[in-house]
């Protein structure tokens, strides 16, 4: 009994394989499936191009705007560098002036005679006249 059912199952499988083989051979002989696949691929390719064309256009526009902005900045750079150099040189001159003043005031303090511990009335007057306070 089991052998009969197995044989019948095997016969069914073999018949299915034979029909599939016949279909495959007919497809290979006709080669229409190749043409259908090519047409399908072409349609899909056109759809993909449509989808990308809009995005590519947006990217091109964006890059063009950015290029123009960069060109503007490149034109401004030399002028800005000149301004910065001028600012730095003026600051340098101002700093040198301040250093000279500091050196002069430090030099004056060093050359000033040291007052004695007892202040006299005359010494008090000279200190107030120079701007120092008691």
Q: What mean pLDDT is predicted for residues 9-32?
A: 85
Average pLDDT of the residues in 17-42: 84
Q: Mean pLDDT, to the nearest integer, of 35-57?
A: 87
Looking at per-residue confidence, does 96 or 30 come out higher?
96
pLDDT confidence of residue 134: 41
Would you say the pTM of this structure is higher than 0.75? Answer: no
C-alpha span between 134 and 129 (Å, rounded): 11
CA dihedral (15, 21, 27, 30) positive or negative: negative
Predicted pLDDT at 8? 83
């Amino acid at each position: 009994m089991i052998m009969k059912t197995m044989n019948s199952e095997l016969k069914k499988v073999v018949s299915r394989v034979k029909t599939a083989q016949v279909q495959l051979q007919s497809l290979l002989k006709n080669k229409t499936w190749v043409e259908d696949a090519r047409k399908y691929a072409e349609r899909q390719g056109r759809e993909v191009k449509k989808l990308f064309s809009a995005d590519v256009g947006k990217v091109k526009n964006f890059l063009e705007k950015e290029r123009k902005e960069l060109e503007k900045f490149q034109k401004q750079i030399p002028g800005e560098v000149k301004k910065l150099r001028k600012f730095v040189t003026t600051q340098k001159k101002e700093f040198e002036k301040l250093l000279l003043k500091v050196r002069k005031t430090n030099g004056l303090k060093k050359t000033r005679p040291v007052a004695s511990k007892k202040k006299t009335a005359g010494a008090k007057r000279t200190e107030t006249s120079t701007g120092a306070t008691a």
